[in-house]
A and B are shown apart, each in its own frame.
Chain A
């Protein structure tokens, strides 16, 4: 702790846990996955309205061609990630566990839209106006790639009456195992910097902070070294603590500002974007390249070659697992995302979506929940809750459907980070009950 202080590391101040980091793939350079035989692209990979399909079965599409158009402002364009023939347009199970309308494309060759700049050269000049930048990002279908998948252009228009003075770039990657953002920061530092500048211009702010946890020291040093070339951008190391990558926690760690209950980062004068998203925005604005691929970590204790793969959106997860050395014999659970907040998958042909940051393969013996004991009132869940709630109480209120009291005690502030269930010595499903309570409250509100 003293050492962290001497290194100038910051951290959030309420609760927090320390799961084993297990960043097995931290040393594995980003590797491009060979083109998949076919892709399945859901038309809802974002929060908001589903995009409208604009292709038909049998159409020939190029890489980067729009195949579904955003409907309304809070929505996102969907592009073909491979070239070839459009196949079935049907409901397919995606990583959320629900069946969603999806467009399948059988890959043929690799023909790209002419407007896309495919050279690896760095483009530093930003000749666009803020409006043009927002339009380009919207056209490119960029969404939050840290997990939330909120359409990025929406976050670029600051609500009336709010004053934003900081852009915060989230390079925390506090989920154990995941290393996709880490590798992007290591291998594309200039792109991240230019991307940050693009956003600063779009938002009209002159200060940006990139927050990175200290377990990615090489990324911190790499970005710090080039930071002087990019005025206004500061790189800040953070002590390793979960859930530091939570938007509210990160703002508090970096600026000491607490986003009010029910508020948005803009209420604390900030806009937060994930580094992966920043990279995609750089590609969208400087290279005219829509969001058709992303870096995905494939990892796990039994995985032969934990890897960071650059894959086209819509690639089935089985292709990625194959590239990382095949499905281990002992696999008992496959998680999309990290172990703290990721979703367990039940099939191998689920497609990679824009917000899929990793695939974690957990061995059979670790995939089941352990025996549940009575609550011993130890208060550990209260101690670790980063939102200052009493999870033990909220879970009981939810269980007993005492929703009004639960709401009065802040159940809707819960960010579902899972720290309470993680720490509970009685293995109680605290977060499950809280989710149940939250969904019941939402249902009651809707009706």
Chain B
């Protein structure tokens, strides 16, 4: 054999073989249980919303990267699919398709591509899109369909458990009275509650978490810390006055805590490098979420909390540099 064709390159010559498209694929697989559950509770609408969001996100990314920026098509790395899915997971399943298109355009165009595409965006793109929609279309964005099995008539809508709670507390109704109208913890855990497409079922989301942990796509640091922080911080208030503040289990199982902790806050691009940084980041999200829920105007605060902490990531990275080898004093 001739050796003219031998490859010469610097070491290392092997790779872990977990590449960006594979990571993205694993995340997509991990989101499927939640999507499946959503289709089960909200019917075909949930699938429709997701498809519109995913296809439009891919379309916008392709248009911007190929025609506007004249770069290589970047949709094959799978990140646009995730942005689309996460956007859909964060909106009601009866959201009109043209609003989803706007959300998609903002998420991909402003949230991601305007910063230079994959890896360069400071904020989670799906959340940028979601918050844009929430501020621009408050009525449509907070009008959630009731799960199919609970709905007396087709197309019935209502507030989420958190929204209901907030309104009740504002009117001065004690939490214990409000709780009698709420779904049971079992129903909340499995997801029989009103809410955005992908956020209701803690059970389905946890399956996704376990899948991502076993595939080593993410580590436990962000999701577990964030959920624990929400639990402990809301628990403190609950202990102070259980008639004014809801039980911590209720806070963890409702709204976007699970979805945020497992799929949004763990986004590589917008979270810190080190485990220590990740823990600080997740504690911050947990605290801000509870503060918004208890003292803010919105019933729900996960999206804002994550976006606010996204802005702190460079600072967190700066102050949580790993300790260099050799810093430890030698004792013999």
Please report A residues at the B interface, Cβ cutoff 8 Å: 14, 17, 19-20, 97, 165, 176, 248, 252, 257-261, 263, 267-269, 327, 329, 331-335, 339-348, 360, 362, 366-371, 373-379, 382-383, 385-390, 392, 409-410, 413, 416, 418-419, 421-427, 431-432, 435
Contact = CB atoms under 8 A, between A and B. Distances in A.
Contacts of A333: 6-9, 13
A383 B275 contact: yes
A341 B325 contact: no
B14 A176 contact: yes
Given A17-B16, A261-B324, A387-B325, A369 B9 contact: yes
B14 A347 contact: no
* B13, B14, B273: most-surrounded residue (chain A CB, <10 A): B13
B10 interface: yes
B173 to A, nearest CB: 45
A229 to B, nearest CB: 27
Interface stretch (B93-101, B117-125, B239-247, B252-260): B117-125
Contact of B325 (A248, A346, A390): A248
A295 B267 CA distance: 48
Interface residues of B, number: 45
A421 B12 contact: yes
B322 A389 contact: yes
A339 B1 CA distance: 22
A341 B269 contact: no
B297 interface: no
Given A267-B330, A376-B269, 7 more contacts: A257-B332, A261-B324, A340-B13, A344-B10, A382-B273, A387-B324, A419-B12
A62 B327 CA distance: 51
Interface in B298-325: 321-325
A22 to B, nearest CB: 9
A332 B19 contact: no
* B9, B15, B273, B325: most-surrounded residue (chain A CB, <10 A): B325
B172 interface: no
B283 to A, nearest CB: 17
A73 B119 CA distance: 51
Interface string B270-281: 111111010000
A388 B327 CA distance: 10
Interface in B1-39: 1, 3, 5-16, 18-20, 22-23
B8 A344 contact: yes
5 contacts: A257-B330, A259-B325, A341-B12, A383-B274, A421-B12
